[in-house]
Amino acid sequence: MRTQPADQAPPQPGARALFAHRDFSYLWIGGVATSVAMSLKTLITAQWLYDTTGSAAQLGLLGLVQLLQIPLTLYGGTLADVIDRKKLMVFTQGMAFLMFLGLTVLAGTDQLAPWHIFFVTGVSGIVNTLGGSARPAMLPRVVPRELLTHAVTIQIITRQIAGIGAPLIFWQAYEVLGVTNSLAIGAVIALFATAAPVLIRASGKPDPSTSRRNTVSSLKEGFRFVLGHRLLPGLYLLDIGVVVVSFYRPLFPVFADQLYGMGAAGTGMLNAADAAGGIIGTSLVLLTNRVGQKGVIVLAGTLVYAAFLFAFGLLHVFWLGLVIVAVLGVTDSISMTMRQAIVQLTTPDKLLGRASSAHSFAAMGANNLGQIEVGLLSGAIGAGNTMVLGGFLAVIVTLGIWYAIPGIRRYRYDPSNPYEKHE
């Protein structure tokens, strides 16, 4: 029998090992269905609103509706740590199904109005906010710890594959079948997302010591952990500082129109290119499992992303725009995936829901503020100029954090001491 040399590290399990775990497969299936349903809702409602009103500012103001729900994100993390995580996923996806069903009925009876889009965006956003931390918090329950980075990466990759499928479904369904049938398709997919968590055998129940605490005590504990962490505040600040000045995805109908003179077809292809780039970026993260300098990867990916915003704003040729958006997807995905992996790798299970909710709080707040800023500026100075300005500010923010918060670039992941390792 051949033995492992004493000085040679044992081989790392590959990503395929994840699917040997039945519960991960169901968590993964539910995540894919959830991603497709949410993408379809965003695409259909945004395109219908822009087609109906012709206003970039209206799309930007959707971000204001969602911004109002951001404080609930932290409470959602507490919920994921104090109640059954599987039940929380079923509830939130069930509500998403009902929202789809309501929009389908309104569209089918010719009663759909812009205020319905704002209302459903607000309500579904609140529900998703309260349950958004449950899925990542379930990961340590369904896979061993040595597979966590792979699990995070695979979930993001498949969500991004769904991000390619959803725009293509939207493009064909919206232009060929109309808004009503497009929403009906989304409702069916949301129903699948509701059923998947029920099939998971692993317990979703909270840690007994956490479940005995009241909500305020749990929030305080999570708040102290995040603020006292040497990495998380800087990572969250980086996300906020860059995304607030550059969040382009919800404004694809505006960019397709103002930069390329296209409608739903342009929106669908831009979204698909962004998701395809995201898949490439997240796949590249799989190659970094043994790389300890994960903080440097986050910073470098964000800096390249910021630089490519200039090209997006300056070059108005559609095929070049697709390539640039794909590169933006690559670089954004690398930094985003690594941020999520660092949260998973440096947080104990009993605090994972709250740490994940803090990450969601930063990301969602940045996304919504960015949607408002990009929408209003696009209406005032044009979509191209908005991206050029965003690229300039994003470069400044990234370089500032690179030098002002050295703990991020000095971070080294050590499997023997996973929760905190800094130089």
Please write the tens of the pLDDT for every residue from 223-277.
Answer: 677 666 677 777 788 888 888 888 888 788 888 998 998 888 888 899 889 888 8
In this predicted structure, what is the pLDDT of residue 242?
85
Angle at 366 between CA 319 and CA 362, to 5 degrees: 130
- Contact between 44 and 182 under an 8 Å Cβ cutoff? The reply is yes
Helix or strand run (H / E) with residue 299? helix 294-314
pLDDT for res 213? 52
Q: How confident is the model at residue 294 (pLDDT cuts 50, 70, 90)?
A: confident
What is the mean pLDDT of the segment spanning 367-379?
82
Query: Is the pLDDT confidence value at 421 over 60?
Result: no
CA atoms within 13 A on the CB side of 398: 25
Mean pLDDT confidence for 44-69: 80
Give the domain ranges of the chain.
17-410
The conformation of residue 177, written as its DSSP 8-state character, comes to I
Q: What is the pLDDT of residues 152-171, one digit of tens each?
A: 777 777 776 777 788 888 88
Number of helices and strands (H, E) in the chain?
18, 0
Nearest residue to 128 via CA among 196, 215, 38: 38
| Model confidence at 358: pLDDT above 60 | yes
For the domain spanning 17-410, the CATH number is 1.20.1250.20
Average pLDDT over residues 404-409: 78
pLDDT for 181-198, tens place per residue?
Answer: 999 998 998 888 888 888
Per the model's pLDDT, the better-predicted residue between 161 and 78 turns out to be 161
In the structure encoding, which two tokens stand for residue 295, read together?
A: 């903080």
Residue 105 confidence class, pLDDT cut points 50, 70, 90 = very high
